[in-house]
Amino acid sequence: MLVGRPIASSEADHQRLDKKTALAVFSSDAISSTAYATEEILFVTAVGASSLALGLDVLVPVSIAVAVLLTVVIISYRQTIHAYPDGGGSYVVSRENLGPRAAMVAGASLLVDYILTVAVSISAGVAAIVSIPQFRDLEEHRVLVCLVLIAFITVMNLRGVKESGRIFAVPTYVYIGVLGLLVGYGLFRVFFGDIDPVVELSAAVPERAEGIERLLGGDLGLFLILKGFSSGAVALTGVEAISNGVPAFRRPEAKNASTTLAAMGLILGTLFFGVSVLASRLHPFPSHEITVNAQLGAQVFGEGSLLFWVLQLATAAILVLAANTAYADFPRLSSLISKDGYLPRQLSNRGDRLVFSNGVLVLAVAAGVLIVMFGGITTALIPLYAVGVFTSFTLSQTGMVRHHLRLRLPGWKRNVAINAAGGSATFVVLLVVAITKFKSPDSWSGAWISIVVVLAVIAFFRAVKGHYTKVAEGLRIDADYKPRRMNHTVVVLVGNLHRGTLEALSYAKSLAPNHLVAVTVVSDSDEERRIQEQWEARGLDVALDIVHSPYRELAGPILRYIDELDTIWDNDIVTVVLPEFVVQSWFGQLLHNQTALLLKARLLFRRHTVVTSVPYHLDA
């Protein structure tokens, strides 16, 4: 009912995305950052030791720097798409050109980035909802609302990328339209109309009023400006998503993906810079209660107007949809990494709807844990964000430089220059992010966690790879390998003598073992006498061994018995036969002891042991 009918593998091509739908699926993360990137700059440059006036003075220059960086990264990733049309982005580029260690760093950074994308976008979406006056009571239930939205978008993605993309395309384009209207109409009113700022910057205003932090005065040094730039650089999160998901596009995949990436960059850059310019004129004050965009919308459209409502609801929708980008890319990337042996193989399996269902569920659980840990506060999550993003950016562009130098295809010199510029720019930003996030004492409350998590993921990669390598080595067939000659010992476990027991003994004989024995476990002399009398009454020709267990334990005595039996014959393999009667209803089955399950689990880890269940079906 929730996921929908299964989709055959032959229908995979029909699940590919056109450019309009792909823009909603893969670009919503990047475009949604326009809802909070400007605000994050102001949270750093206009709050605390600084003031709103100083923060607004540097807002536009910082936004220009972020927009220039965005342009460089977009051009660089277009090169990546054409060079690696099978997708994989930074991970595949690093693996092919920089080696497995760099690939693990890129893969771990991207996986952590996608988890944070879900947590940040959902929490920002809820912040937009509670900024609506009628919904401010939901502030007390912020975490619960976040978890409900994660559950909703998880179910939608389990239905398939194409279906979720179609459902979420409309809110994406509504958001683009209404935010474009806010910027255009707002700037028109600023330059040609009469519109008052949200906060008046006047010397007559006290430094602190009604809980609002300093409006004038303060100090804004280079460190805070760079820190503001690193916070605003979250606008670039999600830019790599299209390069990771190229195979999801309709043919020609690379061309369509490249066009979509260019369109996304143009929309993102225009809206982000427009919001920053408008904010520099209308003086919104960053707040956890009312977002900057909500303040701008209320001032331009009028609080309570239809357009204000559309803006807030569309903002909430696009921020939730930003999580959809991670849901599209995290499972694909997990699948690629698992095929290389660095993640559990289950993550490479497609579900009934041709999506990597296990990856979707892992992402949902991880993001939910982050939401609970940080109380659903966007600003508390942002410090965890940018380090992994720019690490993967830098590795990708460096790998592309190696790619062009190695192949030297037509136009390789131009491409080397483009990717070298992109790699240098993102590396500089990475240094800025690292220095500003970790030098400031308040950043240690969260920023270091992203580094620890990435290192933990890399350690997990290595452990998984080591396990699969050992398994492959253990299963490898050498040229001179011959299986050993075996003595076959069959042990039939007997509880009570019933039809199922007789069927199991008959089956055991059919195996023609070298040695056949039945064994039962008793806790007192009465049980021993009863089973012996039953055995003799039936005239069974199979030897019955009786094991005493005064403490009524079953598994332990059986294992010790098999160990003792195993020492009698060399080169033997032991087959343990378990008689089981099966009733028709699941409820009836629950009414009986499940001792066979426990024994199977314990015997599974014993060397040279085979466990066989012989079911006897009853009509009861």
**Domain with 586 in it:** 487-617
Picking from 421, 441, 468, the residue at the C-terminal end of a domain is 468
Position 83, amino acid: A
Same domain, 513 and 463: no
Q: Which residue has the higher pLDDT, 588 or 138?
A: 138
**Overall residue count recorded for the chain in this entry:** 620
Distance CA 276, CA 76 (A): 25
Q: Which residue has the higher pLDDT, 388 or 396?
A: 396
Say yes or no to pLDDT of 204 above 70.
Answer: no
The answer to whether 118 and 102 are in contact (CB under 8 A) is: no
Picking from 420, 435, 468, the residue at the C-terminal end of a domain is 468
Q: Is residue 598 part of a domain?
A: yes
What is the reported pLDDT for 375? 82
What is the reported pLDDT for 289? 74
Given the DSSP bridges, would you call strands 544-548 and 487-494 parallel, antiparallel or unpaired? unpaired
Q: Is residue 245 part of a domain?
A: yes
Report the percent of the chain where pLDDT is more than 70. 90
At 290, which CATH number?
1.20.1740.10
Q: Is residue 476 part of a domain?
A: no
What is the reported pLDDT for 589? 63
- Average pLDDT estimate for 250-256: 89
Q: Give 52's pLDDT tier (boundaries 50, 70, 90).
A: confident
Q: What is the DSSP letter of 298?
A: I
Distance CA 76, CA 417 (A): 10
CA 175 to chain centre: 25
Q: Is residue 475 part of a domain?
A: no
What's the 3-state SS for 378-407? HHHHHHHCHHHHHHHHHHHHHHHHHHHHHH
Same domain, 461 and 531: no
Same domain, 350 and 393: yes
Say yes or no to pLDDT of 492 above 70.
Answer: yes
Distance CA 544, CA 372 (A): 58
Same domain, 496 and 457: no
**Closest to 257 in 3D by CA, of 243, 236, 240:** 243
- Average pLDDT estimate for 481-504: 87
Q: Give 502's pLDDT tier (boundaries 50, 70, 90).
A: very high
What is the reported pLDDT for 576? 94
Distance CA 142, CA 316 (A): 13
Structure-block tokens of residue 425: 């720019």
Same domain, 463 and 519: no
Q: Is residue 5 part of a domain?
A: no
What is the reported pLDDT for 445? 47
What is the reported pLDDT for 384? 62
What is the reported pLDDT for 322? 79
Say yes or no to pLDDT of 358 above 70.
Answer: yes
Express each pLDDT in 168-187 by its tens digit. Answer: 788 899 999 999 999 999 99
Same domain, 223 and 285: yes
The residue with tokens 């659903």 is: 376
Distance CA 558, CA 562 (A): 6
- Spatial strand order in the sheet of 487-494: 544-548, 515-522, 487-494, 572-582, 609-617
Position 170, amino acid: V
Same domain, 131 and 278: yes
Structure-block tokens of residue 137: 């009571």
Structure-block tokens of residue 92: 């595949």
Give the contacts of 220 (CB within 8 A, at least 6 positions apart).
45, 50, 51, 54, 55, 57, 58
What is the reported pLDDT for 359? 93
Burial of 517 (0-12, 13-18, 19+ CB in 10 A): middle
Q: What is the largest CA-CA distance in the chain?
A: 109
Q: Is residue 401 part of a domain?
A: yes
Distance CA 528, CA 520 (A): 9
Say yes or no to pLDDT of 440 above 60.
Answer: no
Q: Give 203's pLDDT tier (boundaries 50, 70, 90).
A: very low
Express each pLDDT in 558-569 by its tens digit. Answer: 999 999 988 888
What is the reported pLDDT for 278? 96
Mean pLDDT of the chain: 85
Position 593, amino acid: N
Say yes or no to pLDDT of 462 above 90.
Answer: yes
Same domain, 556 and 415: no
Express each pLDDT in 135-162 by its tens digit. Answer: 878 888 889 999 999 999 898 888 876 6
Say yes or no to pLDDT of 587 above 80.
Answer: no
The residue with tokens 């209320």 is: 298
What is the reported pLDDT for 447? 57
Q: How many folded domains does the chain comprise? A: 2
What is the reported pLDDT for 400? 92
Helix (H) or strand (E) holding 517: strand 515-522
Report the percent of the chain where pLDDT is more than 90. 35
Same domain, 512 and 450: no
Distance CA 369, CA 198 (A): 36
Say yes or no to pLDDT of 363 above 80.
Answer: yes
Picking from 441, 468, 495, the residue at the C-terminal end of a domain is 468
Distance CA 119, CA 380 (A): 11
The answer to whether 431 and 230 are in contact (CB under 8 A) is: no
The answer to whether 327 and 159 are in contact (CB under 8 A) is: no
Q: Is residue 324 part of a domain?
A: yes
**Closest to 382 in 3D by CA, of 28, 140, 36, 129:** 36
Same domain, 339 and 456: yes
Q: Is residue 7 part of a domain?
A: no
Helix (H) or strand (E) holding 261: helix 253-282
Say yes or no to pLDDT of 412 above 80.
Answer: yes
Same domain, 457 and 383: yes
Same domain, 544 and 402: no
At 565, which CATH number?
3.40.50.620
The answer to whether 233 and 429 are in contact (CB under 8 A) is: yes
